[in-house]
Amino acid sequence: MESEYNNFAQPVQKRSTGWKIFFGIVLFFSILANLVMVVILVGTVAVFTAGTTEGLIEETIVSGPGANKIAVIRLEGIINRETADEIIGHIKSAQKDKNVKAIIIRIFSPGGSVFASDRIYNQIMDFRQQTNKPVVAFMEGLAASGGYYTSVACDKIIAEPTTITGSIGVIMGHFVLRGLLEEKLGIQPVVIKSGLKKDWPSSFSDVTDEQKEYLQTKLIGPAYERFIQLVADGREELTLEQVRPLADGSIYNADEALANKLIDDIGYFDAAVELAKTLAGIEKVRVVEYKKPFSLATWLDAKAAILPRLDRTGLYELTTPQLMYIWSVEY
């Protein structure tokens, strides 16, 4: 009986193994087919986006005649070098498109670095001067510090009812690692410099009152004065003397900002579109938003950017003080 049972079980085991091989082959070709589809999709996107404005996709938000377009450019998150490069590229694309009659800068940002905010401000001003076309700032919930700095370059400013704006001021901070290095790790930093102020402020020593006064005079003060001057220049309703008391770093809700003449109106995106149409002197428009086409390289770069860099450049950025137009000390 035992011999007969073994003879009967053996073919069953072979059939089971055969099915496993079959399903393995099917799974392999299924994965392969999906990879091929991804490649085809990326290629299709590349083909259909070829010839668009500077490699950008124009996503239609409001349908209308292509001869009259309003370009929407999003300014989101912390304003840094990469953000500035992207926004400047979008503005230049709009400037080259003769069908673009106005721009809406759609802002949701707490601000960022001084130089990046200033570059975006300068590009908006250049667009206005070169094209004589209007630019409307639409504050979508948050446009503080550097976000407000870029807004005052626009012809008009509209904020949503729940917007937080203001925070006109400058902040700078850095890490002091002396205690960690010396007391915890037993590392003694050695700094050799050509002059007393060469490394002010240093992550390897405590900041003195003399250093704070020096940095206030050399960095904070000039950046702050530029900020309030540009607000006064951009807001015709306000003088420099009226801006200064508002520029103590305070934040303002939409109603407060309107009362203090920091913005022109309160409304939603549709109101920004209507205002842009009025300023441009057109009735029927197509509203488009610039977006980057999907690419595997961009996706991989974005994923890589999430990981902290531990090379010399990353260490330098971590320990070097940064001058910021930002509503937060957590940057």
| Catalytic status, residue 145 | yes
Contact 264, 92 (CB under 8 A): no
The CA distance from 114 to 112, in Å, is 7
In the set 93, 117, 145, 151, the catalytic residue is: 145
Helix axes 114-131, 221-234, angle to 10 degrees: 30
As a whole number of angstroms, the distance between CA 40 and CA 38 comes to: 5
Question: Which position has the token pair 């639409």?
Answer: 138
Q: Which of 193, 198, 212, 284 is catalytic?
A: 198
Give Cα 327 distance to the centre of its chain: 14
DSSP helix/strand/coil, 191: coil
Alpha-carbon 20 to chain mean position? 50
Task: Phi first, then psi: give them for residue 223, nearest 5 degrees.
Answer: -65, -40
Q: What is the DSSP string of 4-29?
A: HHHHHHHHHHHHHHHHHHHHHHHHHH
202 is catalytic: no
Tell me whether strands 171-173 and 156-159 are parallel, antiparallel or unpaired.
Answer: unpaired
DSSP 180: I
Q: Catalytic positions, please?
A: 145, 198
